[in-house]
């Protein structure tokens, strides 16, 4: 069945040994899907907490007064685009196109960072202008903890993808081509330098698994965008 | 998707492996999907301001989000091309989470001292 | 020389018999103060009946399934002299038999399910015919005592729930601090008192009686000491009790002097007056003696006519009451009467307790005696 | 460029372990370093077992102090606060630190052997699970040594008693963070087991040929990954309430304490099945062996296990029948709860069917198994009773419930786990435990257990509430409490003898052959104890009870064996990083406990989040180093005599990893 597995000219074949499992699904991929199933319950619990309190106290705060739905819509757009880039990156990885994969990964990270900045801006705006804090009302508690947890997921995703980007850099990558203050780059170099040049084609699976995580963060945002932001604009609803 | 087929047909070089062609096809799928996702997001943003029945808007939001959700897991997350077991494992979590959220929403009522809304459909002695 | 247990069944049978005897011995005591097996009201009776039904059903299953199990263990055991290499037929299952047993057990569950539904509704809703003449009481749970409010008459009492026998009592349950649970086993199963939410239970005593109740949800240090008593009175005594409770017990000039006639005080006058003074200084901050006002300690108007102190832990006797006031921390660890009230951070004292007053023995005797004049 | 990378990758595997990564990889697989860096599922399993037995004894001592205090009315052996701390820690310890890890020990040790795997899917993650479990247990019990002492909130920790206002001390924070670490331990373990069972089965071992214990491992793992998120989030919310002033469960800010109960029991009810399903799996292994018959109705037992697991997520509110739920919700949850009796009954019928017509040998494991069926049946009956809300209204929070779940968790889980320990001890150590002493242990435990817990049914029905540190003599509970305490001590003596016996047997027990019980499943086909690589050959499975078929079955169903290829058997390398990562997590959690709290020895200093951040950075560094290190691996060449009857491996194949 795997007689062509030894053919090293075919990068696709390098993945074959990984698939030698009882189901043909790679271990890492299966574990990631199980993790995502588990993460559904994580976010399910958080979202229920938020929605329950919105339902019990529909009039305590009027979030539409300070929500900026255009910004949030833009954030959604950004995340969806990052998902596209992630998918393309995985696709490139499977083809053995490392440079392409790295470009798309950098794009994904860039969009992820834009999303995070949007969230920082939004939190800042809510705290400063709307006076909404963790302890100003139960809405503040549930809102910040829910969207904050999602933000932490995005941040971890950015970190994860950054690691793979660093890994995919060629071994002779020269750090001095990066311009910028020494102190800014120092910690980044310390963390990422050991990774450079480590990407091998069999790691396409790892990128794919990181991608699954990234897409999941995206679909969680699809739910949050609707359940936390959009429905607030339908005032007659108490669910 | 005429373009995709054309491209596959015009692949003359026999040394291009099948999986490369597969990945090329996915490019178009991904682009089309992302355009659809953005379009849906745009519709969602507009629909909340449209002065029609709010329950209709609400139902539309639920349907549209579900479509987005399924689009991402089905194509971006490769469930379309992976073995069914991945889908099953994920669905176990998704269904339980959805069920739990729904049950919790029904158990809590808007009026702290009153019955859950759904129970107003039932005779009062059941509250 | 090794002893071998050749007859595990004999041993098991002996054990079972011994345990059974012990069990019977223990269960002779079903008429304790809080026994749910001794129901005295319709709600508890209904719950007892359903319990007995489940007991019959499960006993039936125990005898049939357990009997089959015992028979199998006996019949198919490896006996002395059996061929150790004997291989029994390797049967893998019997789908029809298994499905049959599934359906049979589902049937048994239906037997339990039907009265269960009736019981759920009975606990929630006072039957139509009992609504007439029903009284209403608000119960608030505190760490670690109970406030009882009679909203129709507008007065408060604490730790002793008094109500007329033969009439339904509708009880609204709220909690002030943590979760408690209101439980009068002989009259009804428990319902929790949860902060931020109001619950409901109704009880009725068929005959006049004296009942013990207890908090059933863990509520902190002295949870075990959070008891209360419930007294079902005959109609005439109930009317009389209602009337007494609404009377003032102390002078309203701020001297806290009892209104009870001096010849009924039962203690030297100066002792009582001193007690009133101590009460005014050390106790009145938390304990109201006006039946119409509820502060953050138990209402003590008509304390002298109660049968128990310290939330039902002690009988209302002079020595026990003295001990309760003298060393409250030993009687009920963590109680607020001793350590005072703390702010939300759990550290700042916002209301001092007895530990800050340092009462002398004499002062405690005086205030103890004084409390008995509040009738 | 890609092709360069490729050729590097396909360099022949070195004979020596790869020395890669930031630190040199540990190579010594004996002694302390060998244990701290191990990735071998068998050593990890033993680590789990030793930890769990230690905590079982600790929790047992706590229980005995509790029983001693309740022996007579109005005793003052310990203070109310101490009592409350003891029952909180007893519950938490027994559930999270004794029964769950003891099950995990079997998952780790037995399950890979039963499916013919060399190791679990992610060996280093497995080590992380072990260290998180041990450090979580340490963190939880550290609370005894800090001001305020251990938590006194109950294992259910109902808000708002856990609020800072009512529990200002650090004990509650220790409880929260300890449970978080233990949650991580359970979760990483569960992901690992799911992947292992689904993906790493020996050739021919289809899902419907899996041993029942492996099936229950799989279902339990799914329950863990789906139930633990709920408690994780609930704990995060509680932590925010206590440290950052949110109002999730705080009434003053509009929080609803009842929400905590829902979230807790969404986790807590499946947790009950997490505790009992492994026990059912063990019983389903032992009964067939000592009846010399296959399991009766295998598909139905598997199916009912899955149904129990699924229904377990739909019945959580039956723990809350007295909280004032509406009639519809109460009825729905009551009827769903009753439904669970059906698949549970199915299992009991099938166990009896297994023994029916068999040839029953009453060895110690079998005695414990039969004891399990009796006691579990009793626990099931009382379970049916309080599935009916009117009955539950009297029984909730009384000793009746205490009796019920101890019948399920001691008479059920613990008896089954003891059966498992007696059954698999020869496999793990290569030595036998004495059957006569084993029977004495069983009878002591059986008598002690029933004497301790049967009277509690009566105590509960006559009105004794749980979690009360004392009671008045007028209540009429004196006699039952007295006998219950006597029983508890007899049970304790039984367990003590067991511990002595297991230590004795480890050093002095009779040598065991590889299949001492004439067993049926794959783990008995390898050495006792198994070699590092489990199986020298790759087993190819043709039947459900493969080892039995090999001994007594027809030729067509015999196992095939494939010899390892010329590279030998691939084994994963040891690693320091799981341990370092778990220590990072431990520090972060400890930092959260110390957040804004006056800590002894640092009189004036009050920490903000510095320690937490330090711990998280350590965790991150550990994870990065872990990833860079790679799984590594080396090849072992077993003695050809071990696979003498195996067919040679196909030339190009990698064999079954």
Structural domain boundaries of chain C?
Answer: 33-75+102-244, 262-371
B111 and B78 housed in the same domain: no
Phi, psi for residue C172 in degrees, rounded to 5? -95, 130
Residue D561 phi/psi, 5° resolution? -125, 135
Judged by a CB distance cut-off of 8 A, whether residue A59 touches chain B is no
Give the model's pLDDT for residue A182. Answer: 61
Chain B interface test: which of A54, A226, A232, A235 (most B C-beta within 10 Å): A226
In this structure, the answer to whether residues B88 and B53 fall within a common structural domain is no
- Search chain D and give the residue with CA nearest A60: D254
Per-residue exposure over C63-84, b if at least 16 CB sit within 10 Å of its own CB, e if not: eebbebbbebbeebbbeeeeee
Query: Which residues of chain B make contact with D313, given a CB cutoff of 8 A?
Result: 96, 99-100
B113/C contact by beta carbon, under 8 A: yes
Helix axes D415-429, D435-461, angle to 10 degrees: 160
Three-state DSSP class for residue A171:
coil
B15 at the C interface (CB within 8 A)? no
Residue numbers in B near C118 (CB within 8 A): none
Write the residue in C125, C196, C197 that is nearest to B125 by C-beta. Answer: C125
Query: Which pLDDT value is given to residue B113?
Result: 47
Please report whether residue D2 resides in a domain. no
Q: Which chains touch A (3 or more CB pairs under 8 A)?
A: B, D
Q: Is residue D13 part of a domain?
A: no
Q: Per the structure, how many domains does chain D have?
A: 2
Name the CA dihedral angle for C167, C173, C176, C180, rounded to a multiple of 10 degrees.
Answer: 100
Quote the mean pLDDT of chain C.
89
Domain end (from D530, D552, D568): D530
Q: Is C198–B113 a contact, with Cβ atoms under 8 angstroms apart?
A: yes
CB contact under 8 A, D226 and A41: yes
Q: From the list D345, D475, D479, which residue is nearest C105 (CB)? A: D345
Å from D317 to nearest chain A CA? 16
The values of phi and psi at residue C232, to 5°, are -95, 120
Mutate to test the interface with D, among C2, C97, C116, C333 (most CBs of D within 10 A): C116
B5 pLDDT tier (thresholds 50, 70, 90): very low
Q: What angle do CA D488, D453, C24 make, to 5 degrees?
A: 115
Residue D277, in any domain of the structure: yes
Flag whether pLDDT at D3 surpasses 50. Answer: no
Specify the pLDDT at position A178.
62
A8 CA to chain D: closest CA distance, Å?
A: 7
Q: Band the pLDDT of D27: cuts 50, 70, 90.
A: confident
Return the SS3 of C10: helix
For CA atoms D641, D642, D646, D650, give the dihedral sign.
Answer: negative
Which pLDDT belongs to residue D253? 87
| pLDDT at residue number A238 | 47
With 50 as the cut, is the pLDDT of residue D401 above it?
yes
Selecting from B48, B72, B93 the residue whose C-beta is nearest the C-beta of A234 gives: B48
Q: Which of C123, C125, C172, C195 to mutate to test the interface with B (most CBs of B within 10 A)?
A: C125
Kindly state whether residues B6 and B16 are assigned to the same domain.
yes
For the stretch B22-52, pLDDT in tens is 778 888 889 999 999 999 999 999 998 888 8
Angle between helices D100-114 and D212-244 (to 10 degrees): 140
Residues C374, C304 contacting (CB under 8 angstroms): yes
Task: Assess contact for D605 and D657: CB atoms under 8 A.
Answer: no
Does C189 contact D358 at a Cβ distance shorter than 8 Å? Answer: no
Q: Is the same domain home to D485 and D620?
A: no
| Residue among D91, D242, D255 at smallest CA distance from D179 | D91
What residues in A contact D205, CB-CB < 8 Å?
A: 22
The domain total for chain B is 2
Phi and psi of C342, rounded to 5°?
-110, 155
Single out the residue in D513, D530, D547 at which a domain terminates. D530
Contact B113 C121 (CB under 8 A): no
> Collapsing DSSP states into helix, strand and coil, what is residue D246?
coil
Mean pLDDT, rounded, of chain D: 91
Cβ–Cβ contact A84 with B under 8 A = yes
The answer to whether D458 contacts C185, with C-beta atoms less than 8 Å apart, is: no
Task: List the CATH number of the domain containing D501.
Answer: 1.20.210.10
For residues D144 and D155, give the distance between their C-alpha atoms in angstroms, rounded to a whole number. Answer: 16
Q: What is the mean pLDDT of residues D150-172?
A: 92
Q: What percent of chain D has pLDDT over 70?
A: 95
Q: Which of B22-36, C20-34, D251-265 has the lowest mean pLDDT?
A: C20-34
Distances (CA, A) of B123 to B126, C116, C202: 6, 19, 20
Q: Which chain C residues are within 8 Å of D387, Cβ to Cβ?
A: 112
Band (pLDDT 50/70/90 cuts) for residue C347 is low
- Condensed to tens digits (0 to 9), the pLDDT of residues D456-494 reads 999 999 999 999 999 999 898 998 999 999 999 999 999
CB pair distance less than 8 Å for A38 and B93:
yes
Please report the pLDDT score of residue D34 as a whole number: 87
Q: B93 and B67: one domain?
A: no
Q: Which of D393, D473, D477, D479 to probe by mutation at the C interface, max C CB count within 10 Å?
A: D393
SS3 for A7? coil
b or e along D602-613 (b: 16 or more beta carbons within 10 Å of the residue's beta carbon)? Answer: eeeeebebebbe
DSSP letters, A10-77, are -GGGGGGGGG-SSSSS-HHHHHHHHHHHHHHHHHHHHHHHHHHHHHH-TTS--GGGT--HHHHHHHHH
Longest C-alpha distance within chain C, in Å? Answer: 98
Min Cα distance B98 → chain D (Å) is 12
Q: Is B32 in the same domain as B91?
A: no
With contact defined as 3+ CB pairs under 8 Å, the chains touching D are: A, B, C
Same domain, B12 and B52: yes
One domain, residues D192 and D313: yes
Question: Going by DSSP bridges, is the β-strand pair C160-164/C227-233 parallel, antiparallel, or unpaired?
Answer: parallel
For residue D212, being part of any structural domain is answered with yes
Q: Kind and range of the H or E element at D583?
A: helix D577-594
Nearest-CA distance from A162 to chain B in Å?
Answer: 20
The region of weakest confidence among A213-217, C88-92, D578-582 is C88-92
The verdict on B77 and B102 lying in the same domain is no
User: What average pLDDT does range D586-598 have in this prediction?
Assistant: 91
Judgement on whether residues B52 and B104 belong to the same structural domain of the protein: no
Which residue of chain D comes nearest to C105, CA vs CA?
D342
CATH number, span C262-371: 2.60.40.420
pLDDT in tens, C181-220: 999 999 999 999 999 889 999 999 999 999 999 999 999 9
Q: Is the pLDDT of residue D528 over 60?
A: yes
Q: Does the structure show a pLDDT above 50 at D20? A: no
Residues B56 and B92 in one domain: no
Q: What is the pLDDT of residues A59-117, one digit of tens each?
A: 778 888 899 999 999 999 999 999 999 999 999 999 889 999 999 999 999 999 999 99
Q: Considering only CB atoms, which chain D residues are within 8 Å of A132?
A: none
Distance from the B123 Cα atom to the nearest Cα atom in chain C, whole angstroms = 12
- Decide if B119 and D230 are in contact by the 8 Å CB cutoff: no
Per DSSP, D650 falls in state P
Chain A to chain D Cβ contacts (< 8 Å): 145
Report the run of H or E that residue C112 belongs to, with start and end.
helix C95-124
Q: What percent of chain C has pLDDT over 70?
A: 92
Q: Closest partner residue to D225 among A21, A37, A202, by Cβ?
A: A37
Q: What is the pLDDT of residue D33?
A: 86
Question: How many other CB atoms are found less than 10 A from the CB of residue D471?
Answer: 24
| Nearest chain A alpha carbon to D188 | A35
Torsion of CA D252, D257, D263, D268, to 10 degrees: 140
Whether B6 shows a pLDDT value over 80: the answer reads no
Which residues of chain B make contact with D222, given a CB cutoff of 8 A? 92
- Does residue D178 sit within a domain? yes
Segment C103-126 shows an average pLDDT of 92
Distance from CA of C322 to the nearest CA of D (A): 19
Q: What chain B residue is nearest to C121 in terms of C-alpha separation? A: B126
Chain B residues close to C125, C-beta within 8 Å: 125
Task: Quote the pLDDT of residue B7.
Answer: 45
State how far Cα D581 lies from the chain centre. 22
Which of the listed residues D506, D530, D554 is the one where a domain comes to its end? D530
D165 is in which domain, residue-wise? 60-530
Structural domain of B51: 1-82
Q: Is residue D545 part of a domain?
A: no
Show residues of chain C in contact with B125, CB under 8 Å.
Answer: 121, 125
Q: Which residues pair with A78 in a beta bridge?
A: none
Q: Is B88 on the interface with A (CB under 8 A)?
A: no
Average pLDDT on D86-90 reads 97
Measured between alpha carbons, how far is A83 from A90 in angstroms, rounded to an integer? 11
Pairing outcome for strands C341-342 and C349-351: antiparallel
Q: Are residues B111 and B73 in the same domain?
A: no
Q: Among residues 3-42 of chain A, which lie with CB inside 8 Å of chain B?
A: 10, 12, 23-25, 29-30, 33-34, 36-41
Q: What is the CATH number of domain C33-75+102-244?
A: 2.60.40.420
Q: What is the pLDDT of residue C366?
A: 94
User: What is the rounded CA–CA span in Å between residue A53 and residue D237?
Assistant: 13
User: Which residues of chain A fall below pLDDT 50?
Assistant: 1-9, 238-239
Domains of chain A: 30-233 (1.20.120.80)
User: Is the bond leading into D529 cis (omega within 30 degrees of zero)?
Assistant: yes
- How many residues does the structure list for chain D? 657
For residue range C270-280, list pLDDT tens digits in order: 999 999 999 99
HSE toward the beta carbon, residue D384, CA cutoff 13 A = 30
C94: distance to nearest CA of chain D, Å?
Answer: 7
In chain D, the percentage of residues whose pLDDT exceeds 90 is 79
Show which of residues 131-170 on chain A sit within 8 Å of chain D, judged by CB atoms. Answer: 134-135, 137-138, 140-142, 145, 149, 163, 170
Q: Are C197 and B113 an interchain contact pair (Cβ–Cβ within 8 Å)?
A: yes
Q: DSSP letter at D316? A: G
Asked if C156 and C297 count as a contact pair (C-beta separation under 8 A), the reply is no
Report the C-alpha gap between D578 and C329 in whole angstroms. Answer: 49
**Cross-chain residue pair A38–D225, CB shorter than 8 Å:** yes
pLDDT band at D657 (very low <50, low <70, confident <90, very high): very low
Residue carrying the six token digits 């909340």: B48
Q: Residues of B numbered 79-98 whose beta carbons fall under 8 angstroms of chain D's beta carbons: which are they? A: 85, 89, 92-93, 96
Is the CB of residue D459 less than 8 Å from the CB of residue D519? no
A141 contacts in chain D (CB < 8 Å):
240, 246-248, 253, 255
Q: Do A234 and B76 touch (CB under 8 A)?
A: no
Tokens of A200: 């091998």
Same domain for D344 and D471, yes or no, is yes
Average pLDDT over residues D226-253: 94
More confident residue, D642 or D107: D107
- Per-residue pLDDT of B73-120, as tens digits, reads 999 998 888 899 999 999 999 999 999 999 998 888 655 445 555 554
């Amino acid at each position: 069945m795997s007689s062509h597995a030894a053919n090293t000219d075919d990068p696709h074949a390098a993945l074959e040994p990984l698939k030698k499992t009882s189901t043909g699904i790679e271990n890492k991929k299966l574990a990631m899907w199980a993790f995502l199933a588990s993460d559904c319950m994580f976010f399910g619990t958080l979202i229920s907490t938020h929605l329950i309190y919105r339902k019990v106290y529909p009039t305590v705060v009027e979030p539409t007064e300070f929500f900026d739905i255009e910004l949030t819509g833009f954030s959604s757009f950004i995340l969806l685009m990052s998902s596209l880039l992630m998918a393309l990156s995985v696709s490139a990885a499977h083809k053995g196109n490392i440079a392409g994969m790295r470009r798309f990964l950098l794009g994904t990270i860039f969009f992820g960072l834009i999303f995070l900045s949007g969230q920082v801006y939004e939190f800042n705006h809510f705290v400063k202008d709307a006076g909404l804090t963790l302890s100003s009302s139960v809405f503040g508690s549930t809102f910040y903890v829910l969207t904050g947890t999602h933000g932490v997921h995005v941040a971890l995703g950015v970190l994860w993808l950054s690691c793979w980007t660093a890994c995919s850099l060629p071994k002779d990558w020269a750090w001095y081509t990066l311009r910028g203050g020494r102190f800014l780059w120092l910690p980044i170099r310390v963390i990422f330098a050991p990774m450079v040049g480590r990407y091998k084609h069999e790691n396409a699976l790892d990128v794919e698994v990181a991608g699954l995580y990234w897409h999941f963060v995206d679909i969680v945002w699809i739910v949050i965008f609707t359940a936390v932001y959009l429905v607030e604009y339908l005032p007659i609803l108490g669910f | 998707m005429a373009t995709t087929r054309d491209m596959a047909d015009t692949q003359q070089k026999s040394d291009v492996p099948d999986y490369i062609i597969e990945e090329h096809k996915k490019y178009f799928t991904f682009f089309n999907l992302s355009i659809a996702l953005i379009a849906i997001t745009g519709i969602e943003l507009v629909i909340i301001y449209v002065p029609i029945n709010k329950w209709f808007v609400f139902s539309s939001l639920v349907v549209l989000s579900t479509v987005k959700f399924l689009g991402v897991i089905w194509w971006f997350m490769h469930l379309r091309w992976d073995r069914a077991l991945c889908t099953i494992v994920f669905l176990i979590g998704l269904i339980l989470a959805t069920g739990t959220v729904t049950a919790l929403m029904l158990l809590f009522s808007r009026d702290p001292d009153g019955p859950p809304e759904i129970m107003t459909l039932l005779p009062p002695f059941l509250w | 020389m090794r002893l071998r247990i050749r007859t595990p069944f004999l041993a098991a049978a002996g054990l079972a018999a011994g345990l059974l005897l012990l069990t019977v011995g223990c269960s002779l005591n079903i008429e304790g103060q809080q026994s749910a097996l001794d129901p005295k009201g319709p709600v508890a009776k209904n719950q007892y009946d359903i319990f007995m039904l489940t007991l019959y059903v499960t006993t039936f299953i125990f005898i049939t399934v357990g009997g089959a199990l015992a028979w199998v263990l006996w019949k198919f055991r490896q006996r002395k002299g059996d061929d150790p290499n004997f291989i029994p037929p390797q049967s893998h299952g019997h789908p029809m038999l298994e499905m049959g047993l599934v359906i049979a057990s589902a049937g048994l569950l239906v037997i339990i399910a039907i009265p269960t539904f009736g019981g759920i509704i009975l606990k929630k809703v006072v039957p139509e015919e009992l609504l007439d003449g029903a009284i209403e009481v608000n119960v608030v749970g505190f760490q670690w005592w109970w406030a009882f409010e009679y909203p129709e008459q507008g007065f408060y009492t604490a730790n002793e729930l008094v109500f007329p026998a033969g009439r339904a009592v509708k009880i609204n349950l709220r909690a002030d601090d943590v979760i408690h649970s209101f439980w009068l086993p002989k009259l009804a199963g428990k319902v929790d008192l949860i902060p931020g939410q109001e619950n409901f239970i109704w009880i009725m005593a068929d005959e006049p009686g004296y009942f013990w109740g207890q908090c059933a949800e863990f509520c902190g240090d002295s949870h075990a000491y959070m008891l209360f008593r419930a007294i079902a009175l005959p109609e005439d005594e109930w009317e009389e009790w209602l009337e007494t409770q609404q009377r003032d017990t102390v002078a309203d000039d701020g001297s806290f002097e009892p209104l009870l006639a001096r010849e009924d005080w039962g203690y030297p006058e100066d002792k009582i007056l001193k007690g009133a003074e101590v009460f005014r200084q050390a106790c009145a901050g938390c304990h109201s003696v006006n039946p119409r006002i509820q502060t953050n300690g138990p209402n003590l108007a008509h304390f002298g006519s109660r049968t128990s102190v310290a939330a039902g832990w002690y009988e209302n006797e002079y020595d026990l009451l003295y001990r309760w006031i003298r060393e409250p921390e030993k009687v009920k660890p963590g109680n607020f009467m001793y350590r005072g009230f703390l702010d939300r951070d759990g550290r700042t004292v916002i209301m001092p307790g007895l530990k800050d007053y340092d009462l002398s023995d004499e002062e405690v005797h005086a205030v103890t005696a004084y409390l008995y004049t509040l009738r | 460029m890609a092709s360069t990378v490729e050729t590097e990758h396909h360099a022949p595997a070195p004979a020596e372990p790869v020395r890669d990564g930031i630190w040199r990889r540990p190579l010594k697989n004996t002694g302390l370093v060998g244990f701290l860096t191990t990735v071998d599922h068998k050593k990890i399993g033993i680590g789990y077992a030793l930890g769990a037995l230690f905590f079982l004894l600790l929790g047992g001592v706590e229980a005995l102090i509790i029983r001693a205090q309740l022996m007579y009315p109005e005793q003052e052996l310990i203070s109310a606060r101490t009592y409350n701390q003891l029952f909180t820690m007893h519950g938490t310890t027994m559930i999270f630190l004794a029964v769950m890890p003891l099950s995990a020990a079997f998952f780790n040790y037995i399950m890979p052997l039963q499916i013919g795997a060399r190791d679990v899917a992610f060996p280093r993650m497995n080590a992380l699970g072990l260290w998180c479990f041990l450090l979580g247990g340490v963190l939880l019990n550290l609370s005894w040594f800090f001001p305020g002492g251990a938590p006194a909130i109950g294992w259910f920790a109902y808000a708002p008693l856990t609020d800072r206002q009512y529990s200002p001390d650090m004990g509650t924070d220790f409880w929260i963070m300890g449970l978080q670490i233990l949650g991580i331990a359970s979760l990483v373990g569960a992901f690992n087991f799911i992947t292992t069972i689904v993906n790493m089965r020996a050739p021919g071992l289809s899902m419907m040929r899996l041993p029942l214990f492996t099936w229950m491992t799989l279902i339990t793992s799914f329950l863990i990954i789906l139930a633990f998120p709920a408690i994780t989030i609930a704990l995060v919310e509680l932590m925010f309430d206590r440290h950052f002033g949110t109002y999730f469960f705080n009434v003053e800010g509009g929080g609803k304490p009842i929400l905590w109960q829902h979230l807790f029991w969404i986790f807590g009810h499946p947790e009950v099945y997490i505790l009992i399903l492994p026990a059912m799996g063990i019983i389903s292994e032992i009964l067939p062996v000592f009846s010399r018959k296959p399991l009766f109705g295998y598909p139905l037992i598997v199916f009912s296990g899955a149904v129990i697991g699924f229904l377990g997520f739909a019945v959580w509110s039956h723990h809350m029948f007295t909280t004032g739920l509406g009639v519809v919700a109460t009825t729905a949850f009551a009827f769903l709860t009753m439904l669970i009796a059906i698949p549970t009954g199915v299992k009991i019928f099938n166990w009896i069917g297994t023994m029916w017509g068999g040839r029953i040998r009453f060895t110690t494991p079998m005695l414990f198994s039969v004891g399990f069926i009796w006691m579990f049946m009793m626990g099931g009956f009382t379970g049916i009773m309080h599935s009916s809300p009117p009955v539950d209204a009297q029984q909730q929070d009384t000793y009746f419930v205490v009796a019920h779940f101890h019948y399920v968790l001691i008479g059920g889980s613990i008896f089954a786990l003891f059966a498992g320990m007696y059954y698999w001890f020869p496999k793990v150590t290569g030595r036998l435990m004495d059957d006569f002493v084993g029977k004495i242990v069983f009878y002591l435990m059986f008598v002690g257990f029933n004497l301790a817990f049967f009277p509690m049914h009566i105590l509960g029905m006559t009105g004794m509430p749980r979690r009360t540190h004392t009671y008045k003599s007028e209540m009429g509970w004196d006699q039952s409490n007295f006998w219950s305490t006597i029983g508890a001590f007899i049970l304790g003596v039984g367990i003590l003898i067991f511990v002595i016996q297991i230590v004795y047997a480890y050093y002095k027990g009779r040598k065991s052959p590889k299949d001492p019980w004439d067993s049926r499943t794959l783990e008995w086909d390898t050495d006792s104890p198994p070699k590092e690589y489990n199986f020298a050959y790759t087993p190819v499975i043709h039947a459900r009870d493969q080892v039995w078929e090999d001994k007594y079955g027809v030729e067509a169903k015999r196992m095939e064996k494939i010899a390892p290829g010329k590279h030998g058997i691939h084994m994963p390398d040891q690693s320091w990083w799981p341990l370092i990562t778990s220590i990072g997590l431990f520090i972060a959690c400890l930092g959260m406990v110390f957040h804004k709290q006056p800590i002894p020895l640092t009189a004036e200093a009050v920490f903000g989040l510095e320690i937490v951040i330090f711990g998280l950075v350590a965790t991150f560094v550990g994870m990065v180093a872990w990833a860079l290190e790679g799984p590594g691996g080396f090849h072992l060449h077993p003695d050809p005599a071990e696979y003498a009857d195996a067919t040679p491996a196909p030339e190009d194949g990698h064999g079954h990893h």
